[in-house]
Every structure is written in C-alpha cells, then in structure tokens.
Amino acid sequence: MVNEDRAAFLAAADVSRETLERLDRVIDTLGVWRKKSNLIGPREWSVIWTRHVADCYQLLDLIPEDAKVVDLGSGAGFPGLIIAAARPTGHVTMIESVGKKCAFLRAAIDAAGLPATVRQERVESVPHFAADFVTARAFAPLPKLLDYAAPWLTKGATGLFLKGERWKEELTEAGQRWNFAYEAIPSRVGGSGKLMSIRELRRGRQ
C-alpha cells in the first residue's frame, strides 16, 4: 500500500532522481523508527507520501535552492527533512525538544546525507541565528507560532506555515497581537488548509 501511495505522489509531483533517493531514505528510516517511537500514527503510514510528504513538498515552490531554513518543532521531520532532501545546497536547522524525536531526525539526516542539523532545545529558548525562512507544520496555533518565530521574522525571514481548516480564525487572533503581510495559498493536497506565507512581522499594539 505504501508503494502505491508513493507512486501516486510521484505522479503528481516533479521530483528528481537524486531527491527521490534522499526522500526514500528518509521514509525508510521513519518506517523503522515509527515501530519503536511514537512518531506517526499507524493510520497515517498508508498515506505517508500523498498526505505528509506531498503537503510539505509544496513549500519548495517558495524556497530557493540555497536557502537557510529553521524548522520549529520538527517532530517526525515534516517539513524539515523533506525540505533538506530537496534542497541539497541549502541548510535546514531543526529545533525539537524531545530526545527520541531528535535521535530519529539525526538518524534520517545521516541515512540520507542531508544538509541539516538538529538542536535539542525548546523553541522559545533558542537565540536568533541567520535564516531566510521559518517553517512549521502541526506545531502551534498561528498567534503562538508567530511568538516563536519572531526572532527570525522580525529580522527579515519569511514564515511558511502549513495550517488547517481553522486558519482564518488563527489569522484573526494573530492580527490582534502582530502586524504582518501574508498570503494564504490553497493547499495542493486538498481540503480547506492553507500554506501561510508571513513576512514583515512587527509587534502590534498591546
């Protein structure tokens, strides 16, 4: 079933042979680690390519080849590992506080030879470092996510956040605390989710 799901993803996405090799190594590593760590639910495994990889892959339309990316709350590696697999001349810094998840991320990076590093820290405790983009998926509601991403977004980075059906409500709440420019791009994996592009972040009136 996973092979059929992979084939469906490849039929809809433009993926180079080299990138696919790296993605395969990432997903193979996840397949091993998911059996011993709570990285992804059993029901999600059958749609790992068409739901999870595809959801993250759409970010690449907005991320240049050599971009420096910081991924917040990386968990099972979506989108951090997927971006690193497709952007071999860039770099992804993945921030994750849970030790077992960090161990998996490092194993996947090693297996696929990815241009990425893992920092085992709480996101709010990480000091600013240079980055062009900040990414996150299923990590926090947008108002809190902007708090976490502010060290980078207020210094010129662009936020790329995959949000679900509550994106409008979250956007309204975020606008009460922050001023920013945004674009809500329809998700290519269907449903009412959006790819939120956030830039020019600055603190609003309290």
Query: Which domains does the chain carry?
Result: 2-203 (3.40.50.150)
Q: How many CB atoms lie within 10 A of CB 102?
A: 18
Supply the pLDDT for residue 98. 95
**DSSP secondary structure letter of residue 53:** I
Supply the pLDDT for residue 190. 76
CA dihedral 21, 24, 29, 31 (to 10 degrees): -170
Supply the pLDDT for residue 2. 82
Look at 22 and 192; give whichever has higher pLDDT.
22
pLDDT(179) > 80? yes
∠ CA 170-138-197, nearest 5°, is: 55
**Averaged pLDDT for residues 142-155:** 96
Q: Which residue is associated with the tokens 């299923």?
A: 138
Predicted confidence (pLDDT) per residue in 74-94, tens digit: 999 999 999 999 999 999 999
Distance CA 62, CA 168 (A): 21
Distance CA 85, CA 17 (A): 11
| Start-to-end Cα distance in the chain | 51
Q: What is the Cα gyration radius of the chain?
A: 16
Cβ proximity of 186 and 162 under 8 Å:
no
